[in-house]
Amino acid sequence: MTGPLAGITVVSLEQAIAAPFATRQLADLGARVIKIERPGVGDFARAYDDRANGMSSHFAWTNRSKESLTLNTKHDGADEILHALLAKADVFVQNLAPGATGRIGLDYASLKDRYPGLIVCDISGYGSNGPYTNKKAYDLLVQAEAGFLSVTGTPDDMVKAGCSIADIAAGMYAYTNILAALIQRGKTGGGCRIDVSMLESMAEWMSFPLYYAFDGASPPPRAGASHATIYPYGPFEANDGKTVILGLQNEREWVKFCELVIKAPGLATDERFETNAKRSKNRAELRAIIDQVFAGMNSDELVARLDAADIANARVNDMAGVWEHPQFKARERWRTVDSPVGKIPALIPPGGVLPETRMDPIPAVGQHTAGILSELGFTQSRIDELRETGCV
């Protein structure tokens, strides 16, 4: 393996999205990631759907470049395997149910003296202590607890994010904290514990609305796809039925919008709309004026006029539009990866630390079990015995 994390071994007792997303990004950078799965069925995220050529869309996204080792952690023989793995590991990641690793002796308190250089990352819904520690935490539930639903949607209906935003947030903080811990270990030689919660990750992302509602102030209103406090900033429909999002950030852009886009220069100084606060307050009146002008243009004409005026804008793509996005094609951001169902496309991760980011196959359940156990010193007869007794 090559990359900044080549030579780093990550052992992960992971499931669903948050931990697998974190470890996949470590794998992208060259780390060896050994994913421990349940014998037979594997990570339950494998069965979420079958939309990626028969494979789960979530699993395809978060599990490339990993090795799959099946293990029944409750089996008598599991302890020997787990500790053989951890003895060679740099990082141990887990997002099992609260308290699960403690019950099998794999919590940080049990590991820190035996493996002083090990970095242990625990990912949970609400953290390792407090009154919510043992509550079940799914993505939508954490979106609710973190206040995200209260500011997302329309005035009449709250709306969740269209992707697993709480899981993604926790996965990103786990990933970046692990990178920081590896740098720290390089200076001190010691491992550490990282305690990432979905709730705290989402709350960090909610800091703008939190401060907006500081000290009992009213929160940002739910404004659909429009900005809650800046106007015009949101979706508008052209006469071909397609939607364009546009956004103004300052008074200079407001003047240009009036002069060059809606061709009504006098509107820039209209006392109803001369400041953003007034435009936001009187958005219904302004919306009617804008809609009347846009009714005379198709989406291509509208985007061209917005671009000419240097007004920020975007088309509202569906998933097919994203697959075919010209910017991804121009920047050659698509690769193919192998998988149990054949080759599938995959988007190169953002950034570009490497000339060629590692994008290895997505593993089948237990695909690497025999090889890993053999590497750890288990004989073939012992491996056969472990299989026969349901340990792996």
Output the pLDDT for position 357.
Answer: 82
pLDDT the model gives residue 385: 96
Residue 244: strand pairing partners: 236, 315
Query: Is-contact 247 312, C-beta < 8 A?
Result: yes
Residue 351 is predicted with a pLDDT of 85
Residue 241 backbone class (left: φ over 0; alpha: ψ -120 to 50; beta: rest): left
Q: What are phi and psi of 92, to 5 degrees?
A: -120, 120
pLDDT > 90 in the chain, percent: 94
List, for residues 171-192, the tens digit of each pLDDT value: 999 999 999 999 999 999 999 9
Per-residue pLDDT tens over the stretch 324-372: 999 999 999 999 999 999 999 999 999 866 667 899 999 999 999 999 9
pLDDT (tens digit per residue) in 80-90: 999 999 999 99
Q: What is the pLDDT of residue 355?
A: 67
**Residue 354 pLDDT:** 65
Q: pLDDT at position 261, please? A: 97
- 39 and 390 in contact (C-beta within 8 Å)? yes
pLDDT digits (tens, 9 = 90+) for 271-311: 999 999 999 999 999 999 999 999 999 999 999 999 999 99
Q: How far apart are CA 286 and CA 182, in angstroms?
A: 53
18-60 per-position pLDDT tens digit: 999 999 999 999 999 999 999 999 999 999 999 999 999 999 9
Residue 229 has pLDDT above 90, yes or no: no
Domains and CATH numbers, the chain: 9-205+330-388 (3.40.50.10540), 233-316 (3.30.1540.10)
The CA–CA distances, whole Å, from 256 to 69, 243, 391 equal 60, 21, 69
Of 142, 121, 124, give the one whose Cα is nearest residue 133. Answer: 124
Overall pTM > 0.85:
yes
- Determine whether 227 is an active site residue: yes
What pLDDT is attached to residue 189?
97
Angle between helices 198-205 and 165-188 (to 10 degrees): 100
Identified catalytic residue from 58, 75, 83, 227: 227
Average pLDDT over residues 61-75: 97
Q: What is the mean pLDDT of the chain?
A: 95
